Amino acid sequence: MNNMKTLKKFISLSFHISPAYFFLLIFQSMMETGQVLVNVILPKYLVDELVGGRNRDNLIRFGLYIVLSNVAFLFLNKTMKRIMDVRNIYMKEKLNQAMADKIMKVEFACLEDPYYLDLKERAVFACRTMSALENLIGSVAKVLNNTVTILSLLVVMFTLSPIFVLLLVLTISISVVAQKFFSKYQLEIYKELIPINRRYGYYVSLGFDAKYQKDIRLYNMNQMLTDRVLYYNRQIYDWFKGFIRKQGVFQGFVGIINDLQAAIAYGYVGIRVISDKMGGRIGIGSFTMYVTAAINFTTSATDLGKNIMTVIQMLGYLQPFMEFMSLPDEAKKEGSIPFEGEVESLCFENVTFHYPKSEQLVLKGISFEIKKGEKISVVGLNGAGKSTIVKLLCRLYKPASGTIYINGRDIYEYEFTSYMKCLAAVFQDYKLFAFSVLENIRGGEEEEENEINRERVASLLGQVGLKEKMEELPKGMDTLFGKQYDPGGIEMSGGQSQKVAIARALYKEASLIILDEPTSALDPLAEAEIYEHFNQLVGDKTAIYISHRMSSSVFCDKILVLDGGLITDFDSHKKLMEKEEGMYYKLFQSQAVNYQI
């Protein structure tokens, strides 16, 4: 994505967030230019009167015009600045929020793909570390400001001489070119710094992160971490030393050009006062006006150059942000038929799948059918492809070939949101959030919280074995999950958290429920209890269980045995136990011997 495209996208994204912001920006530019023009033009009349007629009333009038217009513009500009400072913060937060929204909506595959993960990292780096969003917004506003001022002053200076304008434009062009070279160098060199900074940031953050402290202390990682931090620290220091040296040379050069511009302004306008060789003579009042105009012009032009470079630089940083923001939304992908009713049948037909950027087939043409109300266990060795089946069902990934049907229709024909309502899943790496236990279980339910749904949550908490735990808490199920943001919050063990996750899946009232390793963190008693009640918990819902605990298969109607991406068996426990050469028999027996006394 080139800079122009990035800028266009950025402006359209910002305009979408707040159209009013752009009108305010234009108004602010006009006001600031107004103040400059007033101070360029009005003093001419005052000075002419001072060296000419010296009429007292005129002097007072011109003096008053200058003072009053300055007070008015000062008031307007300060008010606008205050409004814009607040607006800029609003815009920055909104843009950050847009990025968070994007992360939540983007195709899930992108979030597991190293390219997009890196893109996301670079986007976050630009926004957080480089404050690229604020800088870009600020610089775009200043560019607008400088342009309006420059155009107005050009008109004023043209009334003196086009040659005068040409001379100034020439010197300004030299500093703009110098600025351009320096910005290019800066962008290139910053690219070198980004990876160093990221690694440095990683090792420093390890020291701050409480999660790592056990392992840091136990495996004596302190020194290793400190050495790494010092190593990258030295690299960053060396980088800045070189950079600041070059920056000094550049700033010195720009200073000389600025002095040259001032010399041209005073020199040329001065000559026009004392001689008529370069055009008609001008008075002292006009001298003041043109010199002030020229000084303001060069300052604004230099500022414009600087601000354009900052815009280009920030656009360079924001390219990953814009590329990430342009990724397609998951929900928009496809499907328009609303899913209605319950899951009556589920069918995989010759489904093959490989993960993006990998050639290796994880599922190699699998076919099976599940009917309403059936309880299915999926078993197989590590890496057999069990969790992948769940991801495909949840439309996190799309099959490479073959079709998944629900109620006789390709699942991709259904409208995304209504489809997602028909299933609930507890993933191996499920996550709970810093909301209350109740809110965690209810999730984003549209219906308002009331006594009836509170009762339902309480009953589910009872069914998964957390009733006593909730009763111990002063705020019961309204207690915040985790102590991170509330000392009164509850820190749950892995098993207890898993029970909450199971309750959350059950609360959803989806007609297809998928539990991937649902009892991995549970103690044997809790596991036995959950399994005993599973059928009761799940009721007449269709359920798919993935578990390495073979005992869980016994209560299922059928067991789907996966081996290296292929289905080797799909039958009842009883039938599969008759096949002593089959994988299921071996898996079952290998665990069963451990439980025999």
d(CA 60, CA 41): 16
CA distances from 364 to 354, 388, 389, 566 (A): 9, 12, 12, 6
Tell me the three state secondary structure of residue 339. Answer: coil
Nearest distance, CB of residue 170 and ligand ATP, angstroms = 58
Nearest partner of 32 among 142, 136, 137, judged by Cα: 142
Total residues contacting ligand ATP by CB under 6 A comes to: 12
Q: Please, where are the H alpha helices in 275-283?
A: none
Instruction: Select 114 or 252, whichever has its Cβ closest to ligand ATP.
Output: 114
How many Cβ atoms from other residues are within 10 Å of residue 214's Cβ? Answer: 9
Nearest distance, CB of residue 422 and ligand ATP, angstroms = 22
- State phi, psi for 313 to the nearest 5 degrees: -60, -45
Instruction: Select 119 or 384, whichever has its Cβ closest to ligand ATP.
Output: 384
CA angle 94-98-103, nearest 5°? Answer: 145
Instruction: Select 382 or 594, whichever has its Cβ closest to ligand ATP.
Output: 382
Instruction: Select 382 or 536, whichever has its Cβ closest to ligand ATP.
Output: 382
Q: Which residues contact 270 (CB under 8 A, 6 or more apart)?
A: 287
Instruction: By CB under 6 A, tell whether 368 contacts ligand ATP.
Output: no
Tell me the three state secondary structure of residue 401. Answer: strand
How many Cβ atoms from other residues are within 10 Å of residue 272's Cβ? Answer: 22
Nearest distance, CB of residue 382 and ligand ATP, angstroms = 4
Nearest distance, CB of residue 228 and ligand ATP, angstroms = 28
Q: Which residues contact 408 (CB under 8 A, 6 or more apart)?
A: 345, 347
Instruction: Select 154 or 521, whichever has its Cβ closest to ligand ATP.
Output: 521
Instruction: By CB under 6 A, tell whether 399 contacts ligand ATP.
Output: no
Instruction: Select 305 or 385, whichever has its Cβ closest to ligand ATP.
Output: 385
Q: Which of 387, 496, 519, 547 binds ligand ATP (CB under 6 A)?
A: 387
Instruction: Select 43 or 582, whichever has its Cβ closest to ligand ATP.
Output: 582
Instruction: Select 362 or 437, whichever has its Cβ closest to ligand ATP.
Output: 362
Stretch binding ligand ATP (CB under 6 A), from 27-35, 58-66, 376-384, 569-577: 376-384
DSSP string, 21-32: HHHHHHHHHHHH
Nearest distance, CB of residue 359 and ligand ATP, angstroms = 11
Q: Which of 43, 316, 335, 385 binds ligand ATP (CB under 6 A)?
A: 385
Instruction: By CB under 6 A, tell whether 388 contacts ligand ATP.
Output: yes
Instruction: Select 358 or 594, whichever has its Cβ closest to ligand ATP.
Output: 358
Residue 314 in contact with residue 125, Cβ under 8 Å? no
d(CA 3, CA 323): 12
Q: Which of 52, 383, 443, 488 binds ligand ATP (CB under 6 A)?
A: 383
Q: Which of 382, 450, 594, 596 binds ligand ATP (CB under 6 A)?
A: 382
Residue 47 in contact with residue 285, Cβ under 8 Å? yes
Stretch binding ligand ATP (CB under 6 A), from 245-253, 355-363, 439-447, 449-457: 355-363
Q: Which of 285, 305, 316, 380 binds ligand ATP (CB under 6 A)?
A: 380
Instruction: By CB under 6 A, tell whether 355 contacts ligand ATP.
Output: yes
Nearest partner of 136 among 303, 307, 322, 5, judged by Cα: 307
Sign of the Cα pseudo-torsion (390, 396, 401, 405, in order): positive
Residue 515 in contact with residue 423, Cβ under 8 Å? no
Site string for ligand ATP, 239-268 (x = CB under 6 A): ------------------------------
Instruction: Select 300 or 388, whichever has its Cβ closest to ligand ATP.
Output: 388
Nearest partner of 113 among 366, 396, 515, judged by Cα: 396
Stretch binding ligand ATP (CB under 6 A), from 375-383, 406-414, 440-448, 588-596: 375-383
Q: Which residues contact 517 (CB under 8 A, 6 or more apart)?
A: 428, 546, 547, 548
Site string for ligand ATP, 97-136 (x = CB under 6 A): ---------------x------------------------
Instruction: By CB under 6 A, tell whether 279 contacts ligand ATP.
Output: no
Strand segments, DSSP code E, in 331-478 are 345-353, 363-371, 375-380, 401-406, 409-410, 423-426
Instruction: Select 510 or 561, whichever has its Cβ closest to ligand ATP.
Output: 561
Contacts of residues 74-77 at CB distance under 8 Å and 24 or more positions apart, as own/partner, are 74/35, 76/31, 77/28, 77/31, 77/32, 77/35
Residue 9 in contact with residue 90, Cβ under 8 Å? no
Stretch binding ligand ATP (CB under 6 A), from 244-252, 275-283, 378-386, 458-466: 378-386
Instruction: Select 25 or 562, whichever has its Cβ closest to ligand ATP.
Output: 562
CA angle 112-118-119, nearest 5°? Answer: 100
Nearest distance, CB of residue 396 and ligand ATP, angstroms = 9
Nearest distance, CB of residue 550 and ligand ATP, angstroms = 13
Instruction: By CB under 6 A, tell whether 386 contacts ligand ATP.
Output: yes
Q: Which residues contact 462 (CB under 8 A, 6 or more apart)?
A: none
Residue 328 DSSP class:
P
Instruction: By CB under 6 A, tell whether 362 contacts ligand ATP.
Output: yes
Instruction: Select 186 or 547, whichever has its Cβ closest to ligand ATP.
Output: 547
Instruction: Select 513 or 546, whichever has its Cβ closest to ligand ATP.
Output: 546
Nearest distance, CB of residue 409 and ligand ATP, angstroms = 25
Nearest distance, CB of residue 379 and ligand ATP, angstroms = 9
In which residue are the tokens 């400001």 written?
145
Residues engaged in binding ligand ATP (CB under 6 A): 112, 355, 358, 362, 380, 382-388
